[in-house]
Amino acid sequence: MNLRELSDRLGLSQTTVSRALNGYPEVSETTRKRVQDAATQFGYQPNQRAKSLATGRSMQIGHVIPFSTQHEMVNVVFSDFIAGAGEVYAEHGYDMLLSLVPDDREVEAYSELARKGSVDAVMVHGPTLDDPRIPLLSDLGIPFLVHGRSSAAQTPYHHLDVNNQRAFHRATEFLLDLGHRRIALVNGLEQMDFAARRRAGFIEALRKRDVLPDAGLMSSAEMTEFSGYDAAQQMLGRDAPPTAFIASSIVPAMGIRRALEERGLVMGKDVSIICFDDEISYLPNGRSEPIFTATRSSVRAAGRRCATHLISIITEAPDAPINEVWEAELVLGNSTGPAPAAH
């Protein structure tokens, strides 16, 4: 059933039927009603391809996800983010176009998506310190929003980020207040902007208290359970092992906890752990009370908010860039306690 068939059957022109269905005022309410009833009766649904060709809008928003054989691909955080974004898209009649590409072709993928015209906007995930996608997308002239930030970017761009630096600053201060001095940082990959900022916050807090950052107590890797475990194992084997860990996510924190358990160390007593908690739906940080003390910010809520912003960028084309920064909460769990007295 297409528009012509429907209008023929109603004895109306295509124009009138189209207007009736799209809520234009030039059509009488009785006619509109008649058209709508017929549409539902025959299960008429305008062809999206034709519609988007005519309107010039695809009603689709692109998300490009790089994958490679070595990295974790669709990472944990990502799937909660798109859950949030997807809800908002659905509410506004948009669909999400997911494009998985080998990570060496990621940049091409964006320009292809933009030039093909299959999306009205794109969401940028996981920005690095100096992310090439930002100038690229600016040049292409396609609306985009960055989840995170790219500190070295020269031109303004829309983004929403968590105040990662402040979050890790606070976490570090909190541990210092508990008397910890040998604090380990189990960070994400530091070419990522968020990881670099977290490290900056960590170091800044140490410096303020005249604690020298120790390179042996800082690691940087993908945020997996094993990378957390490995880092903890290695650091706990040192002469002067850390009495506390700050982890980039709940996943490596679980690895750290496993390393503690293996050594018979009690979390929150012998060794403290703080992590960043993205409130991942299927890896919640406890129920009534948190397992890990954590700096917390919901990535799903961020997805919702980013989607809302992106849609408004498409429809309203604001000239002032959106630069929203969320503060993470610091929630107390059972994984932290005073530094054990030195032997």
Partner DNA sequence: CTGGATGTCCAAAGCGCTTTGAGGCTGGGA
Partner DNA sequence: TCCCAGCCTCAAAGCGCTTTGGACATCCAG
The residue ranges that bind a second copy (CB under 8 A) are 43-50, 52-53, 58, 60, 65, 67, 72-76, 78-80, 82-83, 86-87, 89-90, 95-102, 111-112, 115-118, 224-226, 251, 261, 281-284, 287
Find tokens 């948190």 and name the residue.
Answer: 290
Contact 192, 149 (CB under 8 A): no
14 contributes a contact to DNA by CB under 7 A: yes
4 contributes a contact to DNA by CB under 7 A: yes
**Distance between CA atoms of residues 58 and 77, nearest Å:** 27
> Please, what is the minimum distance in Å from the beta carbon of residue 281 to DNA?
36
In the bound state with a second copy, the residue whose beta carbon lies nearer, of 163 and 334, is 334
> Please, what is the minimum distance in Å from the beta carbon of residue 182 to a second copy?
27
> Please, what is the minimum distance in Å from the beta carbon of residue 48 to DNA?
8
151 contributes a contact to DNA by CB under 7 A: no
> Please, what is the minimum distance in Å from the beta carbon of residue 23 to DNA?
10
DSSP state of 101: E
40 contributes a contact to DNA by CB under 7 A: no
In the bound state with DNA, the residue whose beta carbon lies nearer, of 4 and 105, is 4
Contact 277, 296 (CB under 8 A): yes
55 contributes a contact to DNA by CB under 7 A: yes
The continuous run of DSSP H or E covering 135 comes out as helix 133-140
Tokens, residue 169: 């600053």
Handedness of CA 18, 23, 29, 34 (dihedral sign): positive
Q: Which of 179, 36, 171, 64 is nearest to 124 (CA)?
A: 64
Site for DNA in 296-315 (CB under 7 A): none
**Of 42-50, 152-160, 201-209, 311-319: span binding DNA (CB under 7 A):** 42-50
| Binding partner of 331, given DNA, a second copy, none, CB within 5-8 angstroms per partner class | none
**Distance between CA atoms of residues 14 and 6, nearest Å:** 8
CB atoms within 10 A of CB 262: 12
Q: Integer distance in angstroms from the first to the last C-alpha of the chain?
A: 82
Among 9, 23, 27, 109, interactor with DNA by CB under 7 A = 27
**Distance between CA atoms of residues 56 and 314, nearest Å:** 12
User: Which residues are near DNA by CB under 7 A?
Assistant: 2-4, 11-16, 18-19, 21-22, 26-28, 31, 46-47, 50-51, 53-56
